[in-house]
Structure 1
Amino acid sequence: MTDRRLLVISRIGVGPPYAGNRSRMAALLDDLRALGFELHFAGVDLSAEEKRETIKAVDRWIHDFVWPPGGRRPLAARIRQRLAGAWQRLRRRCWPGREPGPSIGNRPLDDWFHPSWLAEARRLQRAGQYRRVLVSYVIHSAFFEAFDSSCLKILDCHDVFTDRNAMLQKAQLDPQEFWISLNPGDERRGLRRSDVILGIQERESSYFQRLTHGRRVVRTVGHIIPSDPLPFSEPQGFGEALAPVVGYLASANPLNRVGLRWFLEEVWPLVRARGGVGRLVVAGGICGAMSFPEEVQLLGIVPSPRVIYQLSLFMINPMLSGTGLKIKTVEAMAHGRAIVTTPAGVEGMALAPGVSVAGTADDFAAAVLAYLRDPVAARNAGVAAAEHLGGLRHQAREALLEALDTPPVQRFRPAFR
């Protein structure tokens, strides 16, 4: 197509810097512009701060989709939600000792899409006549109904949402912290509204391919954060202040809290008991979301991720479960920092230089100790990680370009079904 305009409709922007999905969105927008596309952006319920930062990363801001104050969901959606809640209460009453099934916390696909947005999107398309549209997250796939079969419809998935809250329950999270969760049929329906599906890692791309029975083009676009290796800072001060820094940057996401709590309770005491001399420094929204031992230095919300990476000899990512590509792992590599993580922290990634994977608290402590005792090895590993990521980013950009040049699917019935 000669028309290089791309309409992006997204519920996330490019800030704050400590949230993985927003870091990825910033990198994605940067790559799209580098590939020669003119970005027209429509935000979905974005905060004023997020909009302010995202405007800098696009060519035109064209619309705000806002959930109307007091706006009610469609009657059918409200009935489904009430019936689902009644069924869960009945199960707990009739079978009090029985474990809930994998459908716990699942909600209808379009519960996060206000019906008024469809008319707004149709008006945008009548005015803009876009030939390509990219929508973030399957829960907003109903936007595609506003675009006919001549428009290429690209769905950037970020995560798998099938029975996600069953996974969160297994991680012993309170149901109040459950997030978006769908049954397989609804996720399939959302995926099939698109022409091209972008998965963030190979395992999830394979799942999307199976779920759609191979009837949609699926491309993996994961390692898109550009390599930006930082020089290492020399410790300043005396005594403990001279100790190398073990860094962690994260949002207040409940899975981040579970992982860091495990590290503080199970791993860090082993490091200290075995003579490890290092400082643990934590940055991001997680600092205000949980309690910490006095010895942990908290930076809070930082203006740029570079602050914590510049300070750190290496990073940790003690995530115990989750979906998507673990941006914390990729971002550490991009900034030239080695990282110690769990198998969940590298899910969807091949083994890479500078990435140490530890499945137990004992192994995790040993990997942390190895870098604390040999800072030169930690620095060399960080350099190798950044170089390796550069090659992966080139592959991801090629996959992105292939996705954007895919012919639209010619349908014989409406996509919104």
Structure 2
Amino acid sequence: MHILVTSPIPSHPQNHGNRARVTALCKALQTAGAQIHYVYGGLESLSAEQEQEMRAEWDFVYVLPLLRTKDRKQSFKSHHAIDDWYVDALGDVVRKILDTWRIHYCIANYVWFSRWLSDVPAGIPKLIDTHDIFADRHARLKADGIAPSWFSTTPDEENIGLNRADTVIAIQDAEAQEFRTRTKSNVATLGHFIEPAFMAPRELDKNTKLTIGYMASDNPINQQSLEALASGLSKQPGLQQKFNFVLAGAICNGPAAQSDAFTKLGFVKDPASFYRDVDVVINPNVGGTGLKIKSIEAMAYGKPLVATRDAMIGIATGADCHDLETPHDILAFLDQKVSAEKLMEITQLSKTIITDYMTEQQKTLATLFPELPHLPNSGTKE
């Protein structure tokens, strides 16, 4: 079975949430018996190493030339038209693939990179993996005190893209509910995929300082969240006597990360090595939309997670450690409530939540791709 996947972003390395999402879904499909035709649309620069990694990962890889930042259109002063960042060459590549191979499913990553779906022959299921809601995205960022960046459009423009698909994939339920009010297409929620790999807790004695870890990309939302965390630590120097605060990922490059309160690891190629060396994972995210992949990842490693409410959107939990309002509240929780007994409780909570979560994702995957040969309750096809 062959599945055609297009993406404006590369799949490798997985140092941003959107790359992790693209890779995880494609790997889940591959594991279930599909061969992946991955068409990279050239929105970001691509090193030779990145291209080599993608070619090693996917069955077929097609790379389009770089779309330089200066060549990205914005048709309106306040927003983009839905196809402003679309690359015409993508349609040419897709047509050749469809003419050459028997493609069973077509998946466009991002609604604003979906125009090619309009030319897919009838009978081939067409899906859009939305990643996020892009209607009024800049307004939402401004409301959270974050400078607008990347792509933003209007509901009417976004609807044009959504209606190209047979099925629109939302990454969490709140976004699925909104999409259902705006598109005639079927809408399904399909979250992140990660194979749980629970780690044993580190051995600690009563005199050992706990290591608190935060791994994140350097997007504006994460940077603002880290600034608030650094501000809180500067006002509570006693916390550094109780805890070691460790950062990993591109977040280390921002100004807030230069605080003496943090130990910076930089880019970590193997996330498992980071999680193995921390006792508690935090996600201080405030604002933004979509699904916070790092929250899912931390629980998949069986680590106790302390997070804001925003960092847990789309993840079923009612726990106090996942319902904090601000980064300052995270610090207060660590200071006042974290004990050996509490850590055991939160660790078990992570394992329970991620196990239930992944069961739901597998069920949805089987529903969306019933022809995949190696999924529970799926059919078989040569």
* 2:6 is the alignment partner of 1:41: no
1: distance between equivalents of 2:193 and 2:174? 17
Find the residue that maps to 1:132 and give its secondary structure.
Answer: strand
Give ranges in structure 2 of 5+ residues lacking alignment.
Answer: 372-382
Greater Rg over alpha carbons, structure? 1
Whole-angstrom distance in 1 between the partners of 2:101 and 2:5: 13
**Structure 2 counterpart of 1:300, from 250, 266, 287:** 266
Does residue 381 of structure 2 align to residue 384 of structure 1?
no
Is the 2:229–2:328 Cα contact (8 Å) retained in structure 1?
A: no
Alignment partner of 2:255: what SS? coil
Q: Deviations over 1:252-274 (max 9, x none)?
A: 101000011111113x3465447
Query: Where does 1:14-413 land on structure 2 (aligned, <5 Å)?
Result: 14-45=11-42, 47-48=46-47, 49-61=49-61, 63-67=62-66, 81=75, 84-85=76-77, 104=78, 106-175=79-148, 178-212=149-183, 215-234=184-203, 242-266=208-232, 268-269=233-234, 272-273=237-238, 277-291=242-256, 292-351=258-317, 355-360=321-326, 363-370=329-336, 372=338, 374-405=339-370
Does structure 1 retain, via aligned residues, the 8 Å contact 2:135–2:152? Answer: yes
Compare relative contact order (CA 8 Å, sep 6+) and give the higher one, 1 or 2.
1
Going from structure 1 to structure 2, the CA distance change for 1:354 and 1:307 (only over 3 Å counts) comes to farther
Q: Distance in 2 between matches of 1:308 and 1:191?
A: 38
1:203-254, Cα deviation, whole Å (9 max, x unpaired): 0111111111xx2111111142221112333479xx8xx4111100011101
Contact 1:223/1:389, CA 8 A, preserved across alignment: no
Cα gap change, 1:197/1:41 in structure 2, threshold over 3 Å: closer, same or farther? same
Change (3 A) 1:255 1:69: closer
> How far apart are the structure 1 equivalents of 2:3 and 2:365?
13
**Contact conserved, 1:26 with 1:57, CA < 8 A, in 2?**
no
2:325 and 2:168 map into 1 onto residues whose CA distance is 31
Structure 1 CA distance, aligned partners of 2:69 and 2:14?
Answer: 31
Specify the SS of the correspondent of 2:222: helix
> Letter of the aligned partner of 2:21 in structure 1?
R
Distance 1:250 1:179 in 2: 18
Task: Please give the alpha-carbon distance, in whole angstroms, between the structure 1 residues aligned to 2:5 and 2:11.
Answer: 13
In structure 2, give the amino acid aligned to 1:348.
Answer: G
Question: For residue 358 of structure 2, what is the amino acid of its counterpart?
Answer: R
Unaligned runs of 5+ in 1: 86-103, 407-417
Question: What SS does structure 2 have at the residue aligned with 1:42?
Answer: strand
Q: Is 1:9–2:6 an aligned residue pair?
A: yes
| SS in structure 2 of the partner of residue 56 of structure 1 | helix
Local SS of the residue matching 1:110: coil
> In structure 2, what is the Cα distance between the partners aligned to 1:53 and 1:290?
31
- Letter in structure 2 aligned against 1:6: I
The CA distance in 1 between the partners of 2:27 and 2:194, in whole Å, is 9
Kept in 2: contact 1:13–1:53 (CA 8 A) = no
**Superposition deviation, residue 348 in structure 1:** 2.1
Q: Deviations over 1:134-172 (max 9, x none)?
A: 111111111213312221111111111111111122233
The aligned amino acid for 2:193 is I
Q: How many angstroms apart in 1 are the aligned matches of 2:7 and 2:196? A: 25
CA contact 2:286–2:326 (8 Å) conserved in 1: no
Query: Within 2, Cα distance between the matches of 1:353 and 1:359?
Result: 13
CA distance in 2, matches of 1:404, 1:274: 49
Are the aligned partners of 1:17 and 1:304 in contact in 2 as well (CA < 8 Å)? Answer: no
Aligned-partner residue type, residue 275 of structure 2: Y
Shift of 1:301: 0.8
**Which stretch shifts more, 186-195 or 127-136?**
127-136
Q: Which amino acid aligns with 1:133?
A: C
Moved more, 50-59 or 343-352: 50-59
Total equivalences in the alignment: 367
Deviation at 1:343, TM superposition (A): 1.6
Q: Secondary structure of the equivalent of 1:111?
A: coil
Aligned-residue offset at 1:33:
1.8
RMSD: 2.7
More divergent stretch after superposition (194-203 vs 127-136): 127-136
> Secondary structure, in 3 states, of the residue corresponding to 2:354?
helix
Tell me, yes or no, if the aligned pair for 1:255 and 1:319 is still in contact at 8 Å.
Answer: yes
Q: What is the CA distance between 1:391 and its match in structure 2?
A: 2.1
